[in-house]
């Protein structure tokens, strides 16, 4: 993974961008991805909940072509098969194939992330060898993903026990990330804060500036 946590407090917080192509055409979607990459995102996850397998694979290749140009790590949500073909990492939710089996398919060097909403879920993912954790939702989201809130106290408990990077996720944007000040997270995950912006490039820059101010 691009960040090593260990026992050292992570000072350089990362901006992890998760896509959402709902109600936009492919070209607009890819333009938003490119703008976010130019704006300075650190990691990109392609999350698609609809469309055919072929459409998903085609889109994965197009997005990876963009992220490769900017040297940005590329992650696929859920789809281990697409991740294996595209040669990228995968992020797994609680209802997906467990991390240990994904590792058997993708290999020891693959980046495999996992969602955790509780300490117990985090411990289970860590035992199975996840490379990072996405913890939340901190706030309700506007995506079609069912939201179950995770408290800041639980987030901090997970950070304390985790030896891999922990990313906060769920409804986060430049106006509400102050609540995370003091948390030993590796960074934040955002969707709508960039995807729904008229100018994803500027939105990304603004968000990173706010992150630098909050986590300084």
Is 7 within a domain?
Answer: no
Inform me whether the pLDDT recorded for 6 exceeds 50.
no
| Structure token pair of residue 52 | 């055919």
In angstroms, the CA 137 to CA 119 distance is 14
CB 50 within 8 A of CB 21: no
Considering only residues 190 and 2, tell me which one the structure prediction assigns the higher pLDDT.
190
Is 6 within a domain?
Answer: no
Using one digit for the tens of pLDDT, what is the confidence trace for 89-112? 999 999 999 999 999 999 999 999
Burial 64-77 (b: 16+ CB within 10 A, else e): bebbeeeebbbbbb
Overall average pLDDT of the 111-120 stretch:
97
Is 139 within a domain?
Answer: yes
Overall average pLDDT of the 125-147 stretch:
87
Is 160 within a domain?
Answer: yes
Domain that holds residue 51: 14-214
Tell me how crowded residue 127 is: count the other CB atoms within 10 A of its CB: 10
Instruction: Calculate what percentage of the chain has a pLDDT beyond 90.
Output: 88
Instruction: Calculate what percentage of the chain has a pLDDT beyond 70.
Output: 92
In angstroms, the CA 90 to CA 95 distance is 14
Is 80 within a domain?
Answer: yes
pLDDT tier at 12, thresholds 50, 70, 90: confident
Residue 73 has, within 13 A of its CA and on its CB side, a CA count of 17
Inform me whether the pLDDT recorded for 47 exceeds 90.
yes
pLDDT for res 2:
44
Overall average pLDDT of the 30-59 stretch:
96
pLDDT for res 140:
87
Considering only residues 9 and 112, tell me which one the structure prediction assigns the higher pLDDT.
112
In angstroms, the CA 156 to CA 57 distance is 36
pLDDT tier at 3, thresholds 50, 70, 90: very low
Place of tokens 């026990």: 161
In angstroms, the CA 159 to CA 210 distance is 21
pLDDT for res 101:
98
Overall average pLDDT of the 52-79 stretch:
97
Using one digit for the tens of pLDDT, what is the confidence trace for 174-210? 999 999 999 999 999 999 999 999 999 999 999 999 9
Taking Cα atoms as reference points, which of 113, 124, 59 lies closest to residue 90? 113
Is 4 within a domain?
Answer: no
> Does the pTM of the predicted model rise above 0.75?
yes
What CATH number did the domain enclosing 185 receive? 3.20.20.70
For the chain, the domain total comes to 1
Is 1 within a domain?
Answer: no
CB 135 within 8 A of CB 166: yes
pLDDT for res 144:
52
Is 183 within a domain?
Answer: yes
């Amino acid at each position: 993974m691009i960040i090593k946590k260990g026992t050292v407090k992570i000072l350089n917080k990362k901006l992890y961008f998760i896509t959402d192509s709902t109600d936009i055409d492919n070209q607009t979607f890819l333009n938003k991805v490119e703008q976010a990459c130019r704006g300075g995102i650190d990691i990109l996850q392609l999350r698609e909940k609809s469309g055919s397998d072929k459409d998903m694979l085609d889109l994965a290749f197009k997005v990876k072509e963009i992220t490769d140009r900017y040297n940005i790590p590329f992650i696929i949500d859920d789809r281990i098969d697409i991740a294996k073909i595209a040669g990228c990492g995968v992020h797994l939710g609680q209802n997906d194939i467990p991390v240990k089996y994904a590792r058997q398919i993708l290999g020891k060097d693959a980046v495999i992330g996992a969602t955790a909403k509780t300490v117990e879920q985090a411990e289970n993912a860590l035992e199975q060898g996840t490379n990072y954790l996405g913890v939340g939702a901190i706030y309700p989201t506007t995506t079609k993903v069912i939201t179950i809130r995770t408290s800041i106290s639980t987030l901090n408990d997970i950070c304390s026990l985790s030896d891999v990077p922990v990313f906060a996720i769920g409804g986060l944007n430049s106006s509400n990330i102050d609540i995370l000040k003091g948390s030993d997270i590796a960074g934040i995950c955002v969707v709508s804060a960039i995807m729904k912006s008229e100018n994803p490039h500027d939105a990304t820059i603004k968000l990173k500036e706010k992150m630098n101010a909050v986590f300084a």
